[in-house]
Structure 1
Amino acid sequence: MSLPRRHSIAIALAAAVLLAACASGPDYVRPQVDMPAAWTPEAPWRAMQPQDAAPRGPWWERFNDAQLNALQQQALAGNQTLAIASARLAQARAQLDVAGAAQLPQLGINTRAARARISANRPLTNYNSPNFSTVQNDFALGLNVSYELDFFGRVRRSVEAATASAQQSAADLENTRLLLTAELASNYFNLRELDIELDVVRRAIALQRKALDLATSRHDLGATSGLDVAQQQALLDNTLTQVDLLGRQRAQYEHAIATLTGTPAPAFSLPPSLAPIALPDIPLGIPSDVLERRPDVAAAERSMAAANAQIGVASAAFYPSFMLQPGYGVDSRNWATLFNAPSVLWSLGVSASQSLFDAGRLRAGVDFTQAGYNATVATYRRTVLTAMQEVEDGITGIASLDRAWRQSQSAIASARRVLEIATSRYEGGATPYLDVITAQQALLNSERQAAQLMGQRLLVSVFLIKALGGDWHERREQTPLVQSKTLSPEER
């Protein structure tokens, strides 16, 4: 081989390598989002940094409730919304396999076996030789290869987009799982709060029945008028009405839990429980941790990457596409000679296509993908801002509810003392029965408010865990931000 020819081949190969290294469209860079330097927590919060790279387990187990754990496992196995998200992930992974297959040559085989008669009246190809009608066989076997030379990165950008979309679907599945488990926990804690509230109301009913017996006895003895009995009876009837209203609310949460676990509502029931529930110790990292932990933020970021790659796919249409299509096979009119050397045929070539005029179609396609990317950037930033808001709301909410719950315990103790004093004074004839009724109602309201605050503390804990992206892995030397406190029956 001559030296100039070798140089020509080397230059051609170098040019091909350089072209192959090019990819149309911009390389993806995650947009920057303004992040606060730290949270603004209230006591008893103290900032810590969780290990976000560690595997995340079932966060609901931190509440130490066996019934909740069983329901969560049932929901993860039977919830239909989660099944839909799993199917979407399978679709995205299959689409990635489709896109990735374009990076490799496509190999095909074609065969033909025919017997045909050629017309004697067909147009002449040689005026010096007349046509004859013949009947003959045609046997063929061939291999075809098709491979796109990705000089301008269309295939690579397509794979990049499919990869990001598959990762987005995986993050969407994790987000669906997080939302499902959080919603189930919220409904469960609402139901348990109503169990406690119903217990409070039933205990109040028992107390009010005793007070009614006392008022009735004093009326029968002539010590009081019938007004005291009527007032106590009205209070008792009103409290009995609350049982039915609370029972209806409990049934609605029970039905919601049934649907979340994939169980028909008529076939599902949860017995009442007054078992103590512990608040978990929730570690709070720096704000940027939320970007790594929350699956919805991850999904929004992967959506940006996919949209950015689509710009490259659309931009590649401005450049020519090259297809390498070699072929090899055999063709013969006789089966016996099909694989003889004279029957061999082959082809080797490259086809290229380039649009010369499209009335702005390609440019519009690039503009469309660019606008789609801008939309995903705005969605990502909105998701991050929402994440910051939710975490901050959870931090302040838990701190405020913790103070309110402690104050409610003092209010219950005070209401009980007021009821004891009012009852004693009424029995001694020093005060009217209205004071006893007022004290009874105040105690009932205080105990119900404490039960509701307990439920709200649990709900906000779930909300904050969801806002932080799920479970965490704590280092042993870390000190918990919120000390767990198990509620005793007296405190509830």
Structure 2
Amino acid sequence: MNVFKPSRLCLALAVAAAMSGCMVGPDYQRPSAPVSVAFKEAAGWKAASPQDELPKGPWWALYQDPQLSALVAQVQLNNQNVAQYAAQYRQALALVRGSRAELLPTVSATGATTRSETGTGSSGSSSAGSAGGPSNEHSATLSLSWEADIWGKLRRTVEEDRASAQASAADLANATLSAQSSLAQDYFQLRILDRRIALYEDTIKGYERYLQIIQNKYDENIVSRADLSTGKTQLHSARASMLDLQWQRAQYEHAIALLMGKAPADFSLAADAKWAYHVPQVPLGVPSRLLERRPDIAAAEREMAASNAAVGVATAAYYPDLTLSASGGYQSSTMSNLFSLPNRFWSIGPSLTGTLLDFGKTKATVEQARAAYDASVASYRQTVLTGLGEVEDYLVELRTLEPELVARRTSAEAAEDSASVSRDQYEAGVIDYLDVATTQATSLSERQTLLSLVGTQLVTSVQLQAALGGSWEGANAGQ
């Protein structure tokens, strides 16, 4: 004889399954976002060639710098912020699996042995139940419990957790992109500082040679002491400026080490005299692509979907929960014949539980969930606006930097020519050394400014790459 009555259980399960098609709460529809047809500052933008809408490989490969590629590859492996978001993503996936498991029945087994004795009365005589002294009780029970998701509360919970997991995946991608972008920016700043330090080193060597010439002339009473003092001031000022750049370079090197998950003492990046930069043409696409390309926008959209599902979970509290349970097993005072037919027992039946009066608590919870959804919608739209603004800012900056660099190169060449002419005039005794020092300082300043602008161009290019979403493509994580 069977312990359970499977026909009754199957009938109850079939009825519950038929009732489980209902899902309370709003179905998710992505709200509109303030996206324009085209980027305002993209007018005259030179499209990348070939005109693929998106880069096919990692975005940093466009800079054609093997050293940069090797450093950026370390971010995803060793950066601790990225590792933290990766762990949170795994946690979110586990939560999805847990909420899915709630849709299925729970089966549990229990085995127990107890020894008990009924106490005696005040007269000291033993009761009937304890006439034989202590007694043993042995049992083996198998139980099954299943919550019929009639109103969709469990399915909305799965929907909420899945959207949260997808948001977590986007957060991971955003943290990775941010770290990679920061490393690339620091790397380019460091390389430009190497160029600027090398320029100071060459300039200082020239100043030292020229100061020796002035010293010799001063010893021969050909030039005044003012010329000698001016030459010394010029030399030591250049040395001080070079030292200022050296500690800045060291700090960029430290920042790169931290982004790769290394202690600064364990990392060094030597200067590369042959380093050459390449500013790539960034493929823009259309503004609406940001909704899928930028991980922070994708994360905000998925959080919005999770908040929408949370409204359904809260709404389901208005309705009763139906739980189907069944249990059966054996119970006996002796272990030897525990699993015999006379010792069997079983039970089966539904349980309907609902709140009759909570003084507006459920209503307040639903209102809170709806307000949280409205807040997530506003956050999503603001994230889209911020992304559009960043792209427009970097576009106009890059577009303006192009003619500015051309003008600055022309200015630097003219300043160098002026410095060369003034040196010839000084050697001919036509002008004082103060005039030479002025033109040389102007030439040095122009060349340093030119290098700084190149650094700004590279950094802005990286920022535009990140603002466009880098190489990331949205994935259906947590499905």
| Cα separation, 1, equivalents of 2:19 and 2:102 | 18
Partner of 2:68: 68
Any idea what the Cα deviations from partners look like across 1:410-452, whole Å, max 9, x if unmatched?
Answer: 1121112111211112222222222211110111011101110
1:151–1:44 distance in 2 versus 1, CA, 3 Å = closer
Secondary structure of the 1:336 match is coil
Partner of 1:241: 240
How far apart are residue 136 of structure 1 and its match? 3.9
Give the TM-score taking structure 2 as reference length: 0.89
Check the 8 A contact 2:47/2:281 in 1, yes or no.
no
How far apart are residue 340 of structure 1 and its match? 2.2
How far apart are residue 238 of structure 1 and its match? 0.8
| 1:17-416 matches, cutoff 5 A | 19-40=19-40, 41-46=42-47, 51=53, 57-118=57-118, 133-134=131-132, 135-274=134-273, 275-416=275-416
Give the TM-score taking structure 1 as reference length: 0.87
1:287–1:401 distance in 2 versus 1, CA, 3 Å = same
Check the 8 A contact 1:323/1:351 in 2, yes or no.
yes
Any idea what the Cα deviations from partners look like across 1:57-108, whole Å, max 9, x if unmatched?
Answer: 4322222222222222223222111111111111111111111110100000
| Cα separation, 1, equivalents of 2:13 and 2:106 | 23
Check the 8 A contact 1:50/1:472 in 2, yes or no.
no
Which region of structure 1 is more displaced relative to structure 2, 458-467 or 105-114?
Answer: 105-114
Letter in 1 for 2:260: T
| Cα separation, 1, equivalents of 2:78 and 2:472 | 25
Check the 8 A contact 1:42/1:399 in 2, yes or no.
no
Partner of 1:423: 423
1:454–1:67 distance in 2 versus 1, CA, 3 Å = same
Secondary structure of the 1:443 match is helix
Which region of structure 1 is more displaced relative to structure 2, 318-327 or 428-437?
Answer: 428-437
Check the 8 A contact 1:47/1:285 in 2, yes or no.
no
Letter in 2 for 1:207: G
Check the 8 A contact 1:78/1:262 in 2, yes or no.
yes
Query: Structure 1: 5+ residue runs without aligned partners?
Result: 1-10, 123-128, 474-492
| Cα separation, 2, equivalents of 1:319 and 1:229 | 94
Secondary structure of the 1:198 match is helix
1:221–1:136 distance in 2 versus 1, CA, 3 Å = closer
Any idea what the Cα deviations from partners look like across 1:126-180, whole Å, max 9, x if unmatched?
Answer: xxx9766245432221110111011001100110011011111111000000000
| Cα separation, 2, equivalents of 1:327 and 1:51 | 61
Partner of 1:438: 438
Secondary structure of the 1:103 match is coil
- Cα RMSD between the aligned structures? 2.4
1:451 and 2:451 aligned:
yes
Task: Count residues in correspondence.
Answer: 455
How far apart are residue 329 of structure 1 and its match? 1.2
| Cα separation, 2, equivalents of 1:348 and 1:51 | 62
| Cα separation, 2, equivalents of 1:357 and 1:269 | 68
Letter in 2 for 1:369: A
1:303–1:131 distance in 2 versus 1, CA, 3 Å = closer
Query: Structure 2: 5+ residue runs without aligned partners?
Result: 1-10, 474-479
Secondary structure of the 2:144 match is strand
